[in-house]
Amino acid sequence: MYTHNTQTHRAKNVNQTLFTGQDNIGNMESNTFGRVYQHGKPLDVDSRKTIIHLYAEGLSFGDISKRTGVSKSACHKIATGNLSKPLVKSMATVPVTKKATEEVTKFIEYQTFKKPSIYDREIVTKLLERNICTADNVPSRSLISRVKKRDLDMTYKKVSQVPVETQRINHDDIVTHYIASLLNYAPSQMHFFDEASVDTTAGNRTYGHSSRGKRAHEIQRYASNLKLTVNACCGYFGLDYYDVIQGPSNAMEMVNYFDEALRQTNDLGNPVFSVGDVLIMDNCGFHHHHAGERMLRAMLNNAGVSLIFQPPYSPQFNVVEHVFHAMRHRLRNDTEFTENYTELAVLTVLGDIPQSELRNFYTLCGYV
């Protein structure tokens, strides 16, 4: 019986030389797919090229196996390149269509430059919508990722947000007008106002040391049942006035604050706000409250003080932003005190900011 089967298989060899390309039928057998092969001899290059081309056309490994008579696992290895060096060399000679063309690479670079947070799948969609690629040659998401890393030398990092409001056509004109308005005032005449929220976790430290390759874990207070708002107004010679209130601020709280601030005097007994000074604040919503802003302007006019609003979304022009940064840094010096006596801790650290540091803040904002 075995001899009969062998003779039958060898008889088939005469008509099945498509993938072997040989007439010598010594020591040859056929597999379950009917393809004739010889033990110990690798698949010929032409057959491998055929498999690769069929795979490039989109056929599944099952269909390729049926057409070529090669096992499904062997087709997968040949098509994906998971083979020995001789086979890789033979595959390198096969002309496979390049999907990451120069046009596609430039399109990926442009889309990523325009929106760094764009997903690879979104780029695939845009390539199809713009008719740059078709369904047959559009690059995969993994290929796009490799193009970013290998060809464009891009890395994945945190996005630094730029407010879209600063990209409006007239934004530069607003900034220019703001700077021109302040040219009429000396730094000693400028007073900056802002608010900041603080809770009992303000003293938590966000950086620490640990062994290389391991995270730094520390037990800290996570939840806070206390929300405070710090109102601060600073001048060139020091903080004019500051207070702490429970909960968020609003237009009425702002008016009450300046009712107290305009009465303050310095160490020499002179008013903190002098005639001819200017108050500068950001464009927070309740700063423009129809009743609140009207009342504030009336109070400032009675004191001979002007009111100027910063350009939208331009914290770099507000000196108090640096004051709050220094405040938060100092609150972390004594974590336990900040957690247990948050309001007192805030008042203490604000009172400890020296005048020389405030003058440096004016320089950082470009007013000196």
Say if residue 193's pLDDT is above 50: yes
Say if residue 7's pLDDT is above 60: no
The string of pLDDT tens digits covering residues 248-298 is 999 999 999 999 999 999 888 899 999 999 999 999 999 999 999 999 999
Under the banding of pLDDT at 50, 70 and 90, the label for residue 353 is very high
Domain(s) labelled CATH 1.10.10.10 in the chain stretch across 2-92, 102-151
Q: What is the CATH number of domain 102-151?
A: 1.10.10.10
The string of pLDDT tens digits covering residues 142-185 is 899 999 998 899 999 888 887 777 778 888 899 999 999 999 99
Q: Calculate the average pLDDT of the chain.
A: 85
Contact 77, 83 (CB under 8 A): yes
Q: Kindly give the pairing relationship between strand 306-309 and strand 278-281.
A: parallel
Under the banding of pLDDT at 50, 70 and 90, the label for residue 18 is very low
Q: What is the pLDDT of residue 27?
A: 65
Domain(s) labelled CATH 3.30.420.10 in the chain stretch across 170-364
Q: What is the pLDDT of residue 250?
A: 95
pTM above 0.85, yes or no: no
Contact 307, 278 (CB under 8 A): yes
Question: Which superfamily does CATH assign the domain made up of 170-364 to?
Answer: Ribonuclease H-like superfamily/Ribonuclease H (3.30.420.10)
Could you tell me which of 224, 222, 228 has the C-alpha nearest to residue 196?
Answer: 228
User: Taking residues 111-131, what's their average pLDDT?
Assistant: 92
Distances (CA, A) of 229 to 226, 353, 354: 10, 19, 22
Name the CATH topology of 2-92.
Arc Repressor Mutant, subunit A (1.10.10)
The string of pLDDT tens digits covering residues 30-78 is 777 777 777 777 888 888 888 888 877 777 888 888 888 888 888 888 8
The string of pLDDT tens digits covering residues 76-116 is 888 876 444 444 444 444 444 478 888 999 999 999 998 99
- Rounded Cα distance between 282 and 190, Å, is 14
